[in-house]
């Protein structure tokens, strides 16, 4: 049986919620739909304070998306050292960074034309 189509909004909502569940910091959504030749529609970027927290954020996202939406990332990279874990859900790509790695690569500047939404967290 084919899986139901999941909207990007549904996926983003569950991903943001799962980042907040484990106190991920500095959450941003980059809307790439108006930029030509992009690999996906959205980037979600966040950070953890340690490799343990980066792993916890990645695991939280995968578990909650699997449970609530019955979806799994097409590809996962970086889980071995947990400085930068990339979760590829095809139209939504999640980047979970440690702060110093996020600062170094500065993805938000590379995609400066993207419409950026900052998620306010209350913790």
List the CATH number of the domain containing 39. Answer: 3.30.460.10
Cα distance between residue 123 and residue 85, in whole Å: 23
Q: How wide is the angle at C-alpha 68 spanned by C-alphas 63 and 70, nearest 5°?
A: 80
The pLDDT of residue 122 is above 90: no
Share of the chain above pLDDT 90, in %: 89
Mean pLDDT (whole number) for 7-19? 97
pTM: predicted TM-score of the whole model, two decimal places? 0.94
Residue-range definition of the domain harbouring residue 84? 8-116
Whether 53 maps to a domain, the answer reads yes
Instruction: Give the count of domains, the chain.
Output: 1
Is 63 contained in some domain? yes
Is 2 a member of any domain?
no
């Amino acid at each position: 049986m084919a899986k139901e189509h999941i909207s990007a909004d549904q996926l983003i909502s569950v991903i943001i919620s799962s980042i907040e569940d484990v106190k991920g910091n500095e959450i941003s959504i980059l809307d790439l739909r108006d930029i030509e030749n992009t690999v996906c529609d959205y980037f979600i970027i966040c950070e953890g304070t340690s490799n343990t927290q980066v792993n916890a954020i990645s695991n939280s996202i995968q578990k909650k998306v699997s449970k609530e939406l019955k979806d799994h990332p097409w590809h996962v990279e970086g889980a071995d050292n947990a400085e930068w874990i990339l979760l590829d859900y095809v139209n939504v790509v999640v980047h979970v960074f440690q702060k110093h790695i996020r600062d170094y690569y500065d993805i938000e500047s590379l995609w400066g034309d993207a419409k950026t939404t900052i998620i306010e967290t209350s913790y």
